[in-house]
């Protein structure tokens, strides 16, 4: 029984090109109580692998978090399978605003301790005891209320290229950091303010809403479906769009443009720019913002040092990388001291 990938990303990309079929990039999550995550993981892998689903899925005792690429012709089969699972019946599916047939190139279903890393060792709150969900129209009304505090639950590199007007955007590297920062900064408003949160697709806000209710916040709201669903509703219902810039996404596209506003700057020259790239030096791979001029000047690198490395023969580059890990640089997205105009 196949429970793992048999094709490389390169081989899969070639098959997608040859097939010439449209694919849908989809994300969804659901907090639930899963008794045996490994058995559940194996079940969904087998079912989705048969219909050529690709993507990155995390399963834990607290639920499932999935970012997927599904062949358009298999969408109904995929949806039928989801509906056959009790806690996933009717689950909201966020379909990407901008499609890319190669957004994912492998099917990875992993068992994790949690579907959203939060660093918490607090088992006394129930992640299913969430705050009030609001749609785009309700959200627009709510954030105009002077008694509302609007908080972006994403990390600094996400909010840097796009966020809602007047939102608090914590300068944090992780979701765990934002939980502490927001609780500390808003402690005096637990009872007199409406705490309204948003994130990419809703999963971080949902856990945060349960956490803040547990911590004593009385009026907790979250944007249902996150920025992705907000954008769809704004377009379909012709509502005012209160989001500025791009929505950062966690696949090969890196972002979806929501408005024409460019609110970020190239990290190397300071020119208006909101294009995230990864440093061409594989030993670095730092995520940062780079304009076209700097990309040409720097050979798609973050620094002169990395530029020198990629000029070496590939075998020499591999030798330099051997035994070294770049995970810390990758984690500190946009934080490298070599970036003169970093946020």
Give catalytic residues, as residue numbers: 199
Two tokens, residue 25: 């990039």
279/242 Cα distance (integer angstroms) = 32
74/33 Cα distance (integer angstroms) = 28
């849908």: which residue's tokens?
24
Torsions phi, psi for 238 (to 5 deg): 55, 50
127/9 Cα distance (integer angstroms) = 35
Pick from 148, 151, 182: nearest CA to 169 = 151
Pick from 298, 321, 330: nearest CA to 311 = 298
Q: Measured on CA atoms in the order 112, 117, 337, 247, is the torsion positive or negative?
A: positive
């Amino acid at each position: 029984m196949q429970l793992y990938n048999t094709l490389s990303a390169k081989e899969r990309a070639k098959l997608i090109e040859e097939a010439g079929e449209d694919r849908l990039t989809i994300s969804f999550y659901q907090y639930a109580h899963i008794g045996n995550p490994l058995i559940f993981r194996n079940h969904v892998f087998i079912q989705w692998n048969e219909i050529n689903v690709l993507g990155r899925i995390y399963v834990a005792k607290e639920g499932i978090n999935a970012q997927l690429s599904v062949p358009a012709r298999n969408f109904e089969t995929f949806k039928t399978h989801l509906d056959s699972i009790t806690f996933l019946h009717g689950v909201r599916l966020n379909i990407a605003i901008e499609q890319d047939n190669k957004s994912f190139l492998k099917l990875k279903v992993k068992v994790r301790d949690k579907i959203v890393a939060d660093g918490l060792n607090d088992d006394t709150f129930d992640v299913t005891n969430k705050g009030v969900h609001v749609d785009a129209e309700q959200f627009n009304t709510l954030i105009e209320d002077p008694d509302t505090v609007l908080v972006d639950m994403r990390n600094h590199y996400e909010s840097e290229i796009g966020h809602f007007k007047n939102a608090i955007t914590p300068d944090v590297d992780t979701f765990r950091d934002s939980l502490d920062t927001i609780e500390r900064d808003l402690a005096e408003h637990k009872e007199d303010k409406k705490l309204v949160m948003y994130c990419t697709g809703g999963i971080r806000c949902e856990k945060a809403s349960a956490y803040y209710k547990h911590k004593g916040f009385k009026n907790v709201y979250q944007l249902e479906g996150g920025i992705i669903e907000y954008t769809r509703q704004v377009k379909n219902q012709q509502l005012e769009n209160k989001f500025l810039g791009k929505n950062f996404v966690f696949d090969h596209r890196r972002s979806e443009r929501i408005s024409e506003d460019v609110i970020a700057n190239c990290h190397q020259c300071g020119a208006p720019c909101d294009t995230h790239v990864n440093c061409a030096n594989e030993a670095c791979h730092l995520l940062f913002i780079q304009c076209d001029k700097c990309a040409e000047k720097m050979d798609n690198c973050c620094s002169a040092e990395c530029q020198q490395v990629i000029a070496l023969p590939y075998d020499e580059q591999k030798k330099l990388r051997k035994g070294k890990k770049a995970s810390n640089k990758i984690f500190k997205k946009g934080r490298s001291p070599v970036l003169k105009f970093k946020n």
